[in-house]
A and B are shown apart, each in its own frame.
Chain A
């Protein structure tokens, strides 16, 4: 049906489709990440978590969404209305805008900018305005403090995270996301193995950038009720919520792309064939996984207490089987399609792993004090990231100009960087003057 489309806009069709898909799926994903979070938290705290709505709370997110949509929309009298309305939109818009350059798969990418990475960073750095303006507009001290804090925090940690990414850029030699993944494919190694320090710095920085625990100072409920979101409720609040989770997925995607090999299949060199057939074992893995999940769902179905829950569980199992079938079918489709589907799968798997690390950290570590946060950012992460950049650059030069053994150079520079890290940590014990921006009022 391509011929129906006027040729002038042909190049714009596919991106629009992708964009619609993302915008449609993202809220759902966010909701289910929340469910996942609650489940993981429950598991870590030896509880069950949501079990009522749907089997094992499978329908909880939908219920939450409905509740939020139906809630009354309250605007404080003293609030600056314009800003109060605009702020959440800014947040969520910038969050969604960042997806424009996110490569979910070799083909599944809205626009492959040659400054893709910088674009994503820039746009996601704009998200801060949503927070700051919202916090200011709601004209409440808690909100204002939360806003100030998040502003300071984001500005500080953007630097660290960006510097952490630089090491990946150096290795890839390009800013385009696709090229970065391609570089990892060509060099046959994920950059996390080459620049672990950079990955670590980015991990911490991204946690702080998304205002997650243990860096969730802007919304520290024990100090400022809910930070910049205190005065918000209902749909606007959920917009902030959506923006936060979208940002999480974005940073996870960036980390995946730069350090975890993007959509690449793990172990590309292993070509074990699935009993005799031309299908490689690892390629068949996704469909097998889905198959297993589906079968598990079916096995759980009869145990559900209520009839409706039986149905839902069965539906989930069916969905899994459907996906398994799709995966299996794509094995025999032309390679581009197969690449696309599997790439998407692996990408999402890695993103999920990264997010799981987020949750893990959140439920493991206590919250920082603000000056501690600033100290960590300015006196440990940023110097460490700088040293790491120097080290990686040195390693690359040694390899390419002087033809040293790559592994050796990487190990040497890595050791040096770790030494510096230890020294910095020991230095970090000393007290530091509270950062200027930190103490607003």
Chain B
């Protein structure tokens, strides 16, 4: 940007810096700090970043819609120099440490810092009595830093840095109670599963730079334009699919979703922040960020949509039978993420991001409320041992209720709008996908209200020693709950009338008049904004996006609302009215229930297919190392060396030393003769000197005599 940026936009790089600083302080000096100090530092730093993010957001919106992009490059990070692209042209690889703020990342940082701040406040109450307080907050701030780097990066590589950072922090935080084996295992699982996805993502990055010659988002569009790639160019498709592999890893989509349920071992605020609100949405963000590529790859888009839809219904079905309150929320998270990917897949990027935001609100709220419930029941997580809590902890109950309604998609709460957007787009794209989404919505409503009823209504099944000290959580936990509740209510309204899409349009926009995927690749980046006719095209595009609310939209809306209420009603019927039915149903369709209850044995399958194979491979490699490498290589070399040394020793002893000894023997013989001169008396030596002197003088006399005569 040549024009001087306003203050906040010029200082976006400070936003990740605050959490990083406090994280450093915590991890190096935290042990010596008092908890209050930790609170001030960490929460304060996150609040500061929130302030800066908000200011940046305002100053961004102040700019004209077409130019809402602020790029701040701090320094050249990896100036790797020139290299050959696939098409043989020379390109100069340059990854700079730069920050890019456009509507997309603006939304993201707002969500991250806002929700993050609330969850920090919540944590000060929730973790108050835990050990390793400073460690927890240090990790949390480190995560904030990484996440902000992720969403603010201006190139793929820097984004990957944040990507790995959040992965590491999630590993550390899942294993926060590292003394519990399940916790540390879960951490490892999450880490390894993420590795798989990250590998794909990294390959994608390589391929991008090899194909397009740049990894800057701002230049991807122009590069695509310059490259004149045909629609569905296989190389582009490959890139898109590789990126999506990464996305599945990070965002827990089939087939890499298995780590998220186990990740619930971590502290509840962590589940709320990382595994519901922010990190798991990184994949969505990434796909949206690179939508220019996806729009050139219809096949990849199809894959994304299908995977998303399947994940959604699949996870929802598993959520129905879970008894662990957090597990239920985990599966619902997975299915909601599936929703988002469905949206991306059908090209409704804005809708995806919209759902991401609202989901961050109500899912974070759900987790926090669940945490509050667990807090109240002093660590009880099994819903079978809950019930009838609505009277005892009212505030938590109401917030939970609001969140449930929101996720269930009851108007006019947040979930309704975003989900409706997605379903609308899906319907427009293919009815099958819409149907899956629709059923999923129903199941969502069902299991969420099941959770609500089992927890708060019916008769109490709480253990007695737990019973009599059930207590409402402290304000530090309740206030964030309420704020999030408010947001879950009103969060969706900003999307009414496509305002959200308008806002995101500069980043993502699709020509709607084209049918399905048959649209010319439109490069949603500044790349075209700088050319005049493209700007005009975008302007008319922006009017075009205002939906003319035709009848089908209303019908769809009604359908989703209807199935939401249907799900709630079914849950009410099964778990409040006829509480004996669920067991009967489970018994009646026994095998299927087991299948679902055991999560379709996917974990076992993976164990059998990959994990054990990996272990076998390790064992085989170990055996190879022991026998072949050590045996043949090392020991063989050792044997050879010893043999050679034996030979050389013989040579040394008999030939080399032999000659030396011969010489010394010779010298000894000489010495034996001459030692008789060696009397050891100094005066003898002096006498010899005198004799020599006399001899010399005599010689000179002899000479003189001859000279004379």
Direct contact of A and B (CB under 8 A): no
Interface residues, chain A, with chain B CB atoms under 8 Å away: none
